[in-house]
Copies of this chain bind each other. A is one copy, B any other.
Amino acid sequence: MEFRNQCAEYFRDLQDRICAALEQIDGSTKFREDVWRREGDGGGGRTRVLIEGMVFDKAGVNFSDVNGILSDEFARQIPGEGTGFSATGTSLVLHSRNPMVPAVHANFRFLTKGDKEWFGGGSDLTPYYPDRQDVVHFHRVWKEVCDRHPLVANYQRFKKWCDDYFYLPHRGETRGVGGIFFDYLETHREETFQFVRDCGDSFLNAYGPIVNKHKADQYTQAQKAFQEVRRGRYAEFNLLYDRGTVFGLKTGGRIESILMSLPPVVRWQYDFQPSPSSREAELAEFLKPQEWL
């Protein structure tokens, strides 16, 4: 089987496994599935969204396998000759109902353009009421994955890449507490694919214990409103800076699948300032890049 198809098969199966596990965690409702194809062929995808569950306000898990031609302008911004490209991967964003449960994002993908091909991906955590133990657990899982693949992966490097990428310069803060991020991994194809599979297979180990630990925590309406204010930063990041969003919009992806990552309800409150020493004020300390392990 062509290598790209092996990747696509892995990513499709990963979507199945993650969705099945998230339905178990939520316990109240199922994913809705939308199968879509790009106009004029060029592949398609399988978007799954779980809405208004007991645990998740909105959980989106995408699989896609697309190919086509990039605009000249956009092609120049991406490595590799020419304008032909392909991309396959799994991406997910989980917005929890309970503000004590962090949001999480993960994306693992294989791309080709001209004679170049590479893997990219990562996973990062966005708490609203952060729990240091959760952050350490999340980072530890990703460090262990990286440590199992020393030829192609490096936790310190990928952790810093994540901090650098998920940064909102206009706010002077990171989107969340990071995790790992990597892109353009183009050497040692087989070993990198093993690493990426290990990442995909480890996602539920990284996030599952955190959501299960906090999904029944008590919270107030004021804490829910704070989550909605903070989700504004999530939307700002995705619309102002996220390369995945721009890539999707520029390559004619399915709009609802791309913007599925946006939070269900967002509150932009003018000049919101948490009370000094409140739990809301403490969050700021977590949104500075730092060593968690």
Nearest chain B CB to A257 CB, angstrom units: 9
A25-56 residues with Cβ-Cβ distance < 8 A to B are 34, 49, 51
Contact of A271 among B232, B256, B264 (CB under 8 A): B256
Contact of A60 among B235, B262, B269, B270 (CB under 8 A): B270
- Whether B262 pairs with A264 at a CB distance below 8 angstroms is no
Contacts of A49 on B, CB cut-off 8 Å? 270-271
Instruction: Tell yes or no: A21 within 8 A of B by CB.
Output: no
What per-residue 1/0 map shows which CB atoms of A260-293 lie under 8 Å from chain B?
Answer: 1011111111110000000000000000000000
Contact of A239 among B228, B235, B260 (CB under 8 A): B235
Nearest chain B CB to A28 CB, angstrom units: 17
Contacts of A249 on B, CB cut-off 8 Å? 170, 240
Chain A contact residues: over half helix, strand or loop, or mixed?
mixed
- Whether B232 pairs with A262 at a CB distance below 8 angstroms is yes
Which B residue sits closest to A267, measured CB to CB? B265
Nearest chain B CB to A32 CB, angstrom units: 8
What per-residue 1/0 map shows which CB atoms of A129-160 lie under 8 Å from chain B?
Answer: 00000000000000000000000000000000
Instruction: Tell yes or no: A58 within 8 A of B by CB.
Output: yes
Nearest chain B CB to A108 CB, angstrom units: 22
- Whether A267 pairs with B264 at a CB distance below 8 angstroms is yes
Which B residue sits closest to A34, measured CB to CB? B271
Contacts of A239 on B, CB cut-off 8 Å? 235-236, 239-240
Nearest chain B CB to A156 CB, angstrom units: 30
Contact of A270 among B58, B171, B228 (CB under 8 A): B58
Contact of A255 among B170, B228, B259, B264 (CB under 8 A): B170
- Given contacts A170-B249, A265-B266, A265-B267, 15 further A-B pairs with CB under 8 A are A34-B271, A51-B270, A170-B255, A171-B255, A235-B235, A236-B239, A239-B240, A240-B240, A256-B271, A262-B268, A263-B268, A264-B267, A264-B269, A265-B265, A266-B267
CB<8 Å pairs between A and B, sample of 28: A49-B270, A49-B271, A51-B270, A58-B268, A58-B270, A60-B270, A170-B249, A170-B255, A171-B255, A228-B265, A232-B262, A235-B235, A235-B239, A235-B268, A236-B239, A236-B259, A239-B239, A239-B240, A240-B249, A256-B271, A259-B268, A260-B270, A263-B268, A265-B265, A265-B266, A265-B267, A266-B267, A266-B268
